[in-house]
Amino acid sequence: MSLIKIAEANITTAQSSVTLTGFTTDYPVYWLICSNMESDNSAFQHIQMQYTVSGSADTSAYYYYAQQNQDANGNIYTGGAGTATSISITNQIDSDNNGFSDYELYIFNPAKSDEFTYSTYEGIDLRREAVVAFGRKGGFFHRSNTAHDGVKFFGESGYNIKGHFILYALVV
């Protein structure tokens, strides 16, 4: 197996969103690494994700997800929903506690219009000053036969985000 880098964005000054494009039917599986994702908001907020079509966010209410979170004390939280307009990739992080998140996602068949695009993800969120770590894993799919060409990340409630995002195609 090998990797082909498709797109990369290293955002060091917070901005409203980050978009990576490059999905094609040439590759059925993509690996997305998101590291040092941070918020510029002092309130606890999630970083959201949507797929893109022609470089623009697909805001249709067809995102379905299931996830499990565990904090450093062993408490487990589960959740899921259907008909969402985006997916909360991270747990709640904030700038006051110097929180950050690191995640990886596998994205399957995103550019095929005859199949649902689906993903699995896992990662960790850390609130540094509170010294609280949260592990998160889950999966989601977009229940629409739509060919997607990328992903968009943005802050919940309009806050700005930063981080390092790298999209690879997996070649078997």
CATH of the domain at 160: 2.60.120
Predicted pLDDT at 132: 76
pLDDT at 94: 65
pLDDT at 133: 84
- For residue 82, the model assigns a pLDDT of 83
Q: What is the pLDDT at residue 129?
A: 59
Helix (H) or strand (E) holding 61: none
pTM: 0.92
Distances (CA, A) of 63 to 42, 73, 93, 121, 158: 27, 30, 22, 14, 19
Task: Count structural domains, the chain.
Answer: 1
Which residue ranges in the chain fall short of pLDDT 50? none
Establish how many alpha carbons lie within 13 A of residue 153's alpha carbon, considering only the half-sphere containing its beta carbon. 30
Q: What angle do CA 47, 53, 56 make, to 5 degrees?
A: 60
Residue 80 has a pLDDT of 87
Query: What is the maximal distance between C-alpha atoms in the chain?
Result: 47
Contact 90, 116 (CB under 8 A): no
Structural domain of residue 148, as residue ranges?
2-171
Give the pLDDT of residue 120. 97
